[in-house]
A and B are shown apart, each in its own frame.
Chain A
Amino acid sequence: MTGLDLDRQRHRWQGYFLPRTLHPGAWWVWALGLAVAASRTTNPLLLALILAVACTVVVARRGDAPWALAFRLYIYVGILVVVMRVAFRIIFGGDEGGTVLFTLPTIPLPDWASGVRLLGTVSAESLLGGFYGGLRLATMIICIGAANALANPKRLLKSVPSALYDVGSAVVVALSVFPQLAESVVRVRRARRLRGGSGRGLRALKGIVIPVLEDALDRSLQLAAAMDSRGYGRSAQVPRGTRLVAGGFTLLGLVGVCVGVYGVLDGTAPRYLGLPMLAVGLVLAAGGFVLTGRRVQRSRYRPDRWGAAETLVAGSGVAVGVLLYVSLAIDPSNINPSLSPLSWPQAGLPVVLAILVGALPAFLAPPTPLTADEVRSAGPRHTPELAEVRA
């Protein structure tokens, strides 16, 4: 290899690590890979490892946008899930297995509730069972949270197929209107005080709801007018026939999917109503989508390109899912730690290594650019809104 080639290589890698936002799809594939891996096992060691991997990557590669800062909410939800699961085991009695930890006084219930038992003896097996189950669910929730923290949800919505474009923009608009709604509630509540309103009771509620709704309605009309004058909904001229065919395809397809799902789930239904119907329905619906999508003509500013980094991120997630699936299929002893007899959960080296692959993006993905820096360097303005961004 010549010096020039080496140089070129180096430049290429320097370019690779320049901060940029990755394709949101990459992060979602990565997170779903982790979630699938988590769904395969109740082994707390493996689950904890997956959690650690997810958190590491989030901390290393998230931006400072509001959705990135919401990651901790998912963690709270996860903790809540675990606590609830364990608490339910205690409240509704958990005496499977023989290792009794403690005994609470049983609350007697009437006869018609004979199947339910409140409190009573609590065993280690049932507590652990609740804990393992809860931890699995919590891990999956936190994996989804990680995707949310790492990928810009609005950019994800923009990547939807063009047939769903209208739905996508409706969601985007709703997302940006929501903070405004909260703002106008605060404003109107404050204004209520000016009229001596206490802010309580049905009358006060009316005094708040009506101005807020009027405000929201005004805003949506203004927004609709603005979007209309800026070309929203410009459509290519599609012959009437094509439009009818597209609509028909979509409708028939969706009916087919419904019938197909029913056929698959209901064992007594004739066979041809099952999978074949489902397949036909899916094909018809897809055809309808493609035809509808042709009507929507638009392009994307700075489209997210799928590059090496995206492949790496998505690949590492998929690898975790697949490797865990395979290694647990080969050696199922680690999947679910035994509760009877009670035993310490074990984790084999191959499985641990497989999960650690998921942490690669923490080092190998390009960092996310921070927006607060730009806001900070933008100038010495002091407004309450800016303070929120900085905080």
Chain B
Amino acid sequence: MIRFEDVTITYAGARRPALQHVNLELPEGELTLVVGRTGAGKSTLLRAINGLVPHFTGGHLEGRVTVDGLDTRDHPPRELAHVVGMVGQDPLAGFVTDTVEEELAYGMEQLALPPEVMRKRVEETLDLLGIAELRRRPLRTLSGGQQQRVAIGSVLTMGARVLVLDEPTSALDPTAAEDALAAITRLVHDLGVTVVVAEHRMERVVQYADRMVLLPGDGVVVSGMPGAVLETSPVAPPVVELGRVAGWSPLPLSVRDARRMAGPLRVELDSLAELASLADAPSRDAADLGRLVPLGAGYNQPQETEPAARRRGDAPLPDERADAPVPYKSADAPLPDGPIREALVARGVVVRYGDVIAVRGVNLTLQQGSVTALMGRNGSGKSSLLWALQGSGPRQSGMVDVQGKDPGAVPAREARELVGLVPQSASDLLYLETVDAECAAADRESEREAGACRALLDRIAPGIDGQHHPRDLSEGQRLSLVLAVQLVAAPDVLMLDEPTRGLDYRAKAELAGIVRELAASGKAVVVATHDVEFVAHVAQRVVVMAEGEVVADGPAAEVIGASPMFAPQVAKVLGPPWLTVEQVAAARAGIPAGGAG
């Protein structure tokens, strides 16, 4: 169906080709998952399928790309519209009209189909994707999952046999992502649509994939069965990592596969946990909400000393974060044994927009040196709460206390020295032409000595060229820059709103490292996110919100470990106390040490 013949794509002004001598054949009716780091050429590969590369983006394409026998060289994207449907990361950005029905019909209008055909196909597509009751709704009022389904529907109505999706679930909460993926797999299974999907959070898709295309980053492409490709892939979903640690073969791709193989491992871990509780009962108490153990320590950790050091030093992720910065480990970091101070106390926070109550009387206390994850579906009031706590957003009632001051009552300049917030669209904070200029402006804004921000940036993410335009940085680098800009004001509390959006595994691991170091240096960190695997890595405490209220608040293992929607894959396989592969690996590696002690 899709054939790449010795394709090399070079963008204008680029030093090396984005894709190099790619030979690829994707048969009809298969679901292909494209994975690789940011900048490895995933989008280029996807956009070459319908001719957006090079017709729309510019650049030079050697070789041939054919779809259903049509060569993209003589067919610009619009002439391929009836064959290839393209769905982007942000469905709202690609909508041309403003109601569901019109959006579904738009493509067919361009194809000049007769009105009767259009009417019929619109009805069929509405049913196929389960969005019939939304037909007259304005697109902006739909939830993320619904929008993504409308976007998929709007290319299906044109009769597209190939569906290309560029990170279709990265902006969605876990439930909405399941929705969209269910729709996609149904198309593959029931209608034989050929689907090509790129996804950073491959744990969501890999179990449905018939084929996997890996872009290691040097312009080449590895293609094959998911199991075979994952054997060697530097990036892999947690179940696969778990399989590698446990030495399972073949590698499990889904939670179901893994559960079937996990029996012996579960028994082994249970006995370990028992040993641990006999050996060192008090350390379990330390995991209580009141006394948080910093640096991502597990709750069933037999010993604080050596295994913890191992986790810090050589946990399985480290090949990715071996070069992670080691700042903040200064002597001024408060000792976890000392009295834990409250960095932020909020009581009865209410935020309302018109007659919609976004946050209903939330109480929240943040301890210094802790990482708290704020979870909940889109629209549950997470962002509103963060903005209200920072003082820049509206707050109708309630009190917030940071170092004896209310960030909502003091000027913005002072508020940012109390609470730092990195908003969802972090680049909104950047407006200058170079990284150095941004850093200098940040120094001036917070009245620090010149170079303070740059020094912070170098500690968080070394090696960013100061002359680069902030927009030319990768997502992860830009996030680091914004972090540095906010941290230069030295706030006690740092809040991150959806920081993992658009980050690949390595960038996420780096961010996790940064967040842990920040907590270790005594800051209270709050992360609002949908990314359960990230939460499992960094957070000690999880607060779940729904409809503006806090519905769950407790240690991460308790809150997300048992949740059907929010449980990380490892917890789904092994049961609640285990959240990450590192914990499992460390616990197993810790046997001899624990036995000896």
A205 CB, nearest partner CB in chain B, Å: 10
Distance, CA A247 to CA B190, complexed state (A): 49
Give chain A interface residues in 195-220, CB to chain B under 8 Å. 195-198, 206-208, 210-211, 214-215, 219
Contact residue among B52, B95, B115 (Cβ-Cβ distance under 8 Å from A303): B115
Q: A176–B425 Cα gap in the complex (Å)?
A: 21
A298-340 vs B, Cβ < 8 Å mask (1 yes, 0 no) = 1111110000000000000000000000000000000000000
CB <8 Å contact, A299 and B118 = yes
Residues in A neighbouring B102, C-beta threshold 8 A: 301
CB<8 Å pairs between A and B, sample of 10: A154-B97, A176-B98, A190-B423, A194-B486, A222-B88, A226-B95, A229-B50, A231-B111, A232-B78, A299-B114
Residue A73 at the B interface, CB < 8 A? Answer: no
Contact of A230 among B154, B427, B446, B547 (CB under 8 A): B154
A195 touches B429 (CB 8 A): yes
> Measured between alpha carbons, how far is A233 from B118 in the docked complex, in Å?
19
Q: Is the CB of A230 within 8 A of B141?
A: no
Residues of chain A within 8 A (CB-CB) of B110 are 230-234, 298
Q: Please, which residue of chain A has its CB at the minimum distance from the CB of B489?
A: A196
Chain B hits for A207, CB < 8 A: 431
CB contact list, B104-125 vs A, under 8 A: 105-115, 118-119, 122
**Is B347 at the interface (CB under 8 A from chain A)?**
no
Q: List the one stretch of B228-236, B354-362, B518-526 in contact with chain A.
A: B354-362
Complex Cα gap A197–B486 (Å):
13
Indicate whether A244 reaches chain B with its CB closer than 8 angstroms: no
Partner-contacting stretch, out of A53-61, A100-108, A371-379: A371-379
Report the Cα distance A154→B111, complex, angstroms: 20
- Knowing A194-B390, A299-B109, say if A388 contacts B354 (CB, 8 Å): yes
- The answer to whether B393 and A387 have CB atoms under 8 Å apart is no
- A230 / chain B contacts, CB cutoff of 8 Å: 78, 81, 86, 96, 106-107, 110, 154-155, 158
Shortest Cβ distance from B164 into A: residue: A229
With A176-B98, A194-B421, A383-B356 as contacts: A225 and B52 at CB distance below 8 Å: yes
- 11 further interface pairs, Cβ-Cβ under 8 Å (given A375-B141, A384-B358): A179-B140, A187-B425, A196-B489, A198-B412, A219-B93, A226-B93, A226-B94, A228-B76, A230-B107, A302-B118, A383-B356
Pick out which of these stretches binds chain A: B131-139, B551-559, B576-584.
B131-139
Q: Does chain B have a CB within 8 A of A382?
A: yes
Give, as a whole number of angstroms, the nearest-CB distance from B181 to chain A. 21
A222 to B166, CA, bound (A): 12
Interface membership of B90, Cβ < 8 A: yes
How many residues in A have their beta carbons less than 8 Å from beta carbons of B?
59
Q: In the complex, how many angstroms separate the beta carbon of B393 from the nearest chain A beta carbon? A: 7
B-chain residues with CB within 8 Å of residue A191 when the two chains form the complex: 423, 425, 428-429
Is there a chain B Cβ closer than 8 Å to A182's Cβ?
A: no
Alpha-carbon distance between A173 and B94 when the two chains are bound, in angstroms: 11
A87 within 8 A of B: no
Q: CB distance B133 to A378 under 8 Å? A: yes
Contact-residue size bin, chain B (C-beta under 8 Å from the other chain):
35 or more
- Asked if B79 is at the interface of the complex by the 8 Å CB criterion, the answer is yes
* A229 contacts B134, C-beta separation under 8 Å: no
Residue of A nearest to B548 (CB): A382
| B442 at the binding interface (Cβ < 8 Å) | yes
**Interface residue? B211 (CB, 8 A):** no
User: Would A195 and B445 be within 8 Å (CB), given that A231-B78, A298-B110, A383-B141 are in contact?
Assistant: yes
CA–CA, A225 to B46, complex, Å?
13
Q: How far is the CA of A187 from the CA of B133 in the complex (A)?
A: 31
Q: Which of B147-179 contact A (CB under 8 A)?
A: 154-155, 158
Give the residues in chain B near A194, CB-CB below 8 Å. Answer: 390, 392, 412, 416, 420-421, 423, 429, 486
Roughly how many angstroms separate A237 CA and B236 CA in the complex, as a whole number?
49
The 0/1 profile, CB within 8 Å of A marked 1, for residues 362-379 of chain B is: 000000000000000001
CB-defined contacts of B430 to chain A, threshold 8 Å: 211
- A12 contacts B by Cβ under 8 Å: no
> Are A385 and B141 in contact, with the CB atoms below 8 A?
yes
Would B428 and A391 count as touching, CB distance under 8 A? Answer: no
Collect the chain A residues with CB atoms within 8 Å of residue B122's CB.
Answer: 301
Shortest Cβ distance from A191 into chain B, in angstroms?
4
Query: Is B535 interfacial (CB-CB < 8 Å)?
Result: no
- B248 neighbours in A (Cβ, 8 Å): none
Tell me if A234 and B52 are in contact (CB < 8 A). no
When distances are taken between beta carbons in the complex, the residues of chain A under 8 Å from B547 are 382
CB proximity of A53 to chain B, nearest CB, Å = 30
Instruction: Decide if A381 is an interface residue (CB 8 Å cutoff).
Output: yes
- Residues of chain A lying within 8 A (CB to CB) of residue B429: 191-192, 194-195, 211
Tell me whether B137 and A378 are in contact (CB under 8 A). Answer: yes
Q: Once the chains are docked, how many angstroms separate the CA of A211 from the CA of B425?
A: 11
> How near does chain B come to A155, taking the closest CB pair, in angstroms?
10
Let me know if A389 is at the binding interface, CB within 8 A: yes
Within 8 A of A (CB), among B430-474: 430-431, 442, 445-446, 471
A230 to B155, CA, bound (A): 7
Query: In the complex, are the beta carbons of B355 and A387 less than 8 A apart?
Result: yes
B50: chain A residues within 8 A (beta carbon)? 229
On chain B, the residues within 8 Å of A381 by CB distance are 143, 379
Q: Least Cβ distance of A377 to chain B in Å?
A: 8
Q: Determine which of B107, B137, B485 lies in contact with A374 in the assembled complex, contact meaning CB atoms within 8 Å.
A: B137
Q: Are A210 and B358 within 8 A (Cβ)?
A: no
Provide the B535-566 mask, 1 if CB < 8 A to any CB of A, else 0: 00000000000010000000000000000000
- A156 / chain B contacts, CB cutoff of 8 Å: none
Task: Judge if A227 is at the interface, Cβ distance under 8 Å.
Answer: yes
**Are A223 and B94 CB-contacts (below 8 A) given A194-B486, A374-B136?**
yes
Report whether B137 and A231 are in contact in the complex, using a CB–CB cutoff of 8 Å: no
For the complex, what is the distance from the CA of A371 to the CA of B99, rounded to whole Å?
A: 11
Q: Which residues of A contact B140 (CB under 8 A)?
A: 179, 385
Which among A187, A219, A233, A301 is the interface contact of B109 at CB below 8 angstroms?
A: A301
**Whole-angstrom distance between the alpha carbons of A196 and B407 in the complex?**
12
Contacts of B137 in A (CB 8 A): 371, 374-375, 378
Give CA–CA (A301, B115) in the complex, Å.
Answer: 5
Q: Are A234 and B412 in contact (CB under 8 A)?
A: no
